[in-house]
Amino acid sequence: MKTVFISLRAAYSSIVDPKRGRTFSNEERARIQVMIAEGYGARPFSDLIIDTDLGSFSETLAILERDVRRIVER
């Protein structure tokens, strides 16, 4: 069995958008910005990077399922 590494990323504005139903403290907001700057959403060892803010949850899930199947079938 192969291990598959998947990175999930989103733009800062999408992460902290109040429509998501979560409120972040100033410290959390600062840490999110640092993590994005450090590349946590695009690690070089990732087999797959999914932008979670480009579509709905179901669209993102469909992309994830499709791409993981492609990786596993290789």
Q: What is the mean pLDDT of the chain?
A: 92
For 58-69, the pLDDT digits (tens) are: 999 999 999 999
A 10 A CB-CB count for 69 gives 10
HSE at residue 42, side-chain half, CA atoms within 13 A, is 7
pTM above threshold 0.85: no
Name the percent of the chain lying above pLDDT 70.
Answer: 100
Do 52 and 10 form a contact (C-beta atoms < 8 A)? yes
Domain ranges of the chain: 6-73
Question: H-helix or E-strand containing 22?
Answer: none
Mean pLDDT to the nearest integer, 5-34? 95
